[in-house]
Amino acid sequence: MNHLSSVTEKSFDYIFIGYKENKVAGRKIYLTSELYRILKGIMREEQIDKNQRIRIRFSPLVLENFGFQINTIRKDRDYNLLLKELMSSGKVLMSILYC
């Protein structure tokens, strides 16, 4: 979970997962299991996206210089995770979602 330190610009000595609430206490961060799963899901999807972008950029060069294709990564987006992100950001109104 080093990503937390890089995006928050805070250093954490300890990360506790499975806590009853999300909070920061000094250099300790406490995450509920649900928030941890969401954060891990985001990191997983972003890593897949990064690998896919690299493959797309490598593919023409490998084909031209070596004569074979690079397979693309099959990726399934977790739309439930995406919905949770949108709702957390406040950019989607709950009333729209329930129409």
Higher pLDDT, 78 or 18: 18
| Domain ranges for the chain | 1-31, 41-99
pLDDT (average), residues 63-85:
76
**What is the average pLDDT value for the chain, to the nearest integer?**
79
- Residue 56's pLDDT is 83
Q: Using the predicted structure, report yes or no on whether residue 92 has a pLDDT greater than 60.
A: no
In this predicted model, what pLDDT tens digit does every residue of 14-50 receive, in sequence order?
Answer: 889 999 999 999 989 899 999 998 888 888 888 888 8
Which of 47, 48, 41, 39 lies closest to 4 in space, CA to CA?
Answer: 39
For the entire predicted model, the pTM comes to 0.62
